[in-house]
Amino acid sequence: MLTTNGRMIINNADMVHILAPDQILYCQADNCYTKIISVNNPVYILSKTLKCVEKEMNDFGFIRVNQSYLVNRLYIKNINRRKKLIQLLANELIPYTISTKKLVALLLT
């Protein structure tokens, strides 16, 4: 999925899409597939589990915030401790289950 220059190759039935990791808002698990939600709003589907995607995206600032979501730290706008939600710059709300302390520590690394 990732090339040597750090870009992502996503194959679907009609096209091959090439994305830089900073173009990805978040990844969402969908059974044995992963939805890639990009900054430009297209949704891409990979035939890989979120666990596999997480291993490949680990060095690019993505944080596993719960069982179903991998979030790009560049796009985190705020964290609602009470509701356990992360708000992204595009106003999407992502639930998180890791501790707020751990989440903040991951954001600072």
For residue range 40-97, list pLDDT tens digits in order: 888 999 989 999 999 988 888 899 999 999 999 999 999 999 999 999 998 999 999 9
Asked if residue 47 lies in contact with residue 33, where contact means CB atoms within 8 angstroms, the answer is yes
Q: How far is CA 20 from the centre of its chain?
A: 12
Quote the CATH superfamily of domain 8-108: LytTr DNA-binding domain (2.40.50.1020)
Residue 109 CB coordination number (10 Å)? 7
- Give the per-residue pLDDT at 25: 96
Q: Is the dihedral of CA 49, 52, 57, 59 positive or negative?
A: positive
Q: What are phi and psi of 16, to 5 degrees?
A: -110, 120
- Give the per-residue pLDDT at 11: 83
Predicted structure pTM score: 0.90
